[in-house]
Structure 1
């Protein structure tokens, strides 16, 4: 989807429109794939990046092929970072493009219509309180 990322669902004015083009597929096997290990020879930045994927909310959607893609990205970028030469802009651009395909950025998750909720928002029933709502409450007191 080209253009700016869509707004979060709770920020949209028009909520009666059904999401277009939404397809739901049940994962094969119904269980999480075995997660690859962090390689000891990877660059420290890539180790941290790969570990952060394991802790991120979108990782629940990852299949085995997604983990292997992340593993390949970490391997290639580690070689680039460990080479002792400055990282080429083209390589960094390709890394960012491939990392975006793994939903590592908020904008990419919105484009794919995946929204991650903070744990405290779920405890409150998912209610989002805006500054204007707080202001209205103070005025009505």
Structure 2
């Protein structure tokens, strides 16, 4: 993965678009987002904000926006369709490096 810079939300966005953006930043799948994913999400939040602030709304436009959000695997249902599940980190598991060092010590007869 490359270094990722997450842009700030636009202050003028509709509160729902802003809340969605903020939730994206703190969601587990965001660990895998690259700059292009964040740019796409930003564009979609911009579109959602425009839609929410529009006087006359189109069901077709909303469906198109929601369909595009599916590509970012935002909801649990979207992730399940592609067989991705987010899990809590296992805190009791030792890192691989610690286990490898313990194995080396054991092989050298240094473990007690």
Q: Which residue of 2 aligns with 1:99?
A: 69
Paired residues in the alignment total: 93
Deviations 1:15-37 (A, max 9, x none): xxxxxxxxxxxx2x3x3x10011
Question: How many angstroms apart in 2 are the aligned matches of 1:88 and 1:115?
Answer: 33
Shift of 1:114: 1.6
Q: Which residue of 1 aligns with 2:21?
A: 50
After TM superposition, the score normalised by the length of structure 2 is 0.74
Q: Which residue of 1 aligns with 2:45?
A: 74
More helix by share: 2
Q: Which runs of 4+ in 1 moved over 4 A?
A: none
For residues 94 and 123 of structure 1, do their structure 2 counterparts lie closer, same or farther at Cα, with a shift above 3 Å needed? same
> Which of 70, 81, 93 matches 1:111?
81
Q: Which residue of 2 aligns with 1:134?
A: none
> Which of 53, 59, 62 matches 1:89?
59
Structure 2's unaligned 5+ residue stretches are 94-112
Structure 1's unaligned 5+ residue stretches are 1-26, 126-141
After TM superposition, the score normalised by the length of structure 1 is 0.60
Q: Which residue of 2 aligns with 1:61?
A: 32
Q: CA RMSD, aligned part only?
A: 1.7
The answer to which structure, 1 or 2, has the higher relative contact order (CA under 8 A, 6+ apart) is 1
Question: How many angstroms apart in 1 are the aligned matches of 2:83 and 2:52?
Answer: 33
Q: Which has the larger radius of gyration?
A: 2
